[in-house]
Structure 1
Amino acid sequence: METIKLELDEKKHGAFNLYVDDKKLGEMTVSIKDDVLTVYHTGVEPEAEGKGYAKKLLEEMVSYVRANNMMVIALCPYVHAQFKRHPDEYQDIWKR
């Protein structure tokens, strides 16, 4: 069973980290400033690829942003591609 935790430092830089049985298998690197969350990178360990973990990280980030009335700057190629591919789904949170 996977768990996703948002882990930030005192400057609000960090990541949504995905763990399976206490082993970190994926991360979405972010920073938060005021009401804007910037996504820099999404990565999944090679042995965990193809299991939908990047999508789960995206869904967790989107839920967090919506719950906190924030906007997203998508510098991460994966997140940017998803936002472009499904603009209707993300238009409320995408800061272009």
Structure 2
Amino acid sequence: MAEVKINIQQNEPSAFDLYDEDGKVGEMVFDIQGNDLTVYHTEVSPEKEGLGYAKILLDAMVNYVRENKLKVIPLCPYVHLQFRRHEALYQDIWNKIKEE
């Protein structure tokens, strides 16, 4: 079973790290400035692609944002695509103004 651990760093990007029985298999890199969480990059190990691991990272990020009353600036292509495809699911947390 996959597990997400948040790795908050000061003065450098943080990450949601994804682990399974093989160790770290993915990450979503982000930074928080004020009330905005900017997602820069999502990556899953090639041998784990297609198993829904990127969605697990996305769900962990969305839960964190909602719990902490933040907005998302989705610079990561994967996150941006998911926000566009499922806009109704993410409209409450999507900061479209600062995205551009």
Judge same fold: TM > 0.5, yes or no: yes
Find the aligned partners of 1:12 and 1:58 in 2 and give their Cα distance.
Answer: 20
More strand by share: 1
Find the aligned partners of 2:66 and 2:9 in 1 and give their Cα distance.
Answer: 21
**Mapping of 1:77-88 within 5 angstroms?**
77-88=77-88
Find the aligned partners of 1:80 and 1:95 in 2 and give their Cα distance.
Answer: 11
**How many pairs are equivalent?**
96
Gaps of 5+ in 2: none
Partner of 2:3: 3
Q: CA deviation at 1:5?
A: 0.7
% identical equivalent positions? 54
TM-score, normalisation: structure 2: 0.91
Partner of 1:51: 51
List structure 1 segments (4+ residues) > 2 angstroms apart after TM superposition.
none
Find the aligned partners of 2:12 and 2:37 in 1 and give their Cα distance.
Answer: 10
Q: CA deviation at 1:12?
A: 5.8
Gaps of 5+ in 1: none
